[in-house]
Amino acid sequence: MEDSMDMDMSPLRPQNYLFGCELKADKDYHFKVDNDENEHQLSLRTVSLGAGAKDELHIVEAEAMNYEGSPIKVTLATLKMSVQPTVSLGGFEITPPVVLRLKCGSGPVHISGQHLVAVEEDAESEDEEEEDVKLLSISGKRSAPGGGSKVPQKKVKLAADEDDDDEDDDDDDDEDDDDDDDFDDEDTEEKAPVKKGQESFKKQEKTPKTPKGPSSVEDIKAKMQASIEKAH
């Protein structure tokens, strides 16, 4: 039972083959498949009148089995050389066995299409494909760390060097700024006393000397007594 299930579940690979036939008044075409192991389908594409066909009505008919397993006949195309010499069916798929016939007209009529076959994939081919995929994946994994890591390291080193250069430049700028600040402070300190001396000198020049006021009477008396005492 398990083997039969494995056979049923095996994947199918479609194959396409060209198909073509010619119909005449006394010539039908029977499409049947002797090999029942694979699935077959007939995909009809075009129906056209051949060279030498008379300008008369041609009716192309197909006979196959319906869903219930009973034979059924359907009209595929109605052709006339002066009106419609060819018809496109666009992929009219029929499961064989199929009989194609010219129901009306003398022909010739050409039918073209594709014969589709669903083929089971071999287990050996699947194993080989899986092994190839594994080998490719392993080789890709091995080559990825060695080849891809070199370039990022170089980029990281370059980026680190650039960052160091930027930091050095910033330090130099800071030192220059500090020196400029110190120099400015010294200038201000040197200039400050001169300004203060100048301002005090100017203030001394501007402030007038206050005249001494007249002596009081007591002071005059004291001076007179002092002069009398000195005379005696």
11 or 53: whose pLDDT is higher? 53
**Rg of the chain taking only CA atoms, in angstroms:** 59
Residue that is written with structure tokens 């006339």 in the block: 80
On average, the pLDDT of the chain sits at: 74
pLDDT in tens, 63-88: 999 999 999 999 999 999 999 999 99
Per-residue burial over 112-143, b = 16 or more CB atoms within 10 Å of its CB, e = otherwise: ebbbbbeeeeeeeeeeeeeeeeeeeeeeeeee
How would residue 1 be classed by pLDDT, with cut points 50, 70 and 90? Answer: very low
Q: Rank 77-86, 130-139, 172-181 by mean pLDDT and report only the highest.
A: 77-86
Query: Is the distance from CB of 54 to CB of 107 less than 8 angstroms?
Result: no
pLDDT at 123 over 60: no
Stretch 132-150: mean pLDDT: 59
Residue in 48, 145, 32 with CA at minimum distance from that of residue 94: 32
Predicted confidence at residue 2, as pLDDT, reads: 47
pLDDT of residue 46: 96
Note the pLDDT of residue 34: 82
Do 106 and 53 touch, CB atoms closer than 8 A? yes
- Asked if pLDDT for residue 98 goes beyond 70, the answer is yes
Residue 10 has pLDDT above 70, yes or no: no
Show the tokens assigned to 47.
């129906």
Residue that wins the pLDDT comparison between 111 and 193 = 111
Beta-carbon count within 10 A of 98 CB: 18
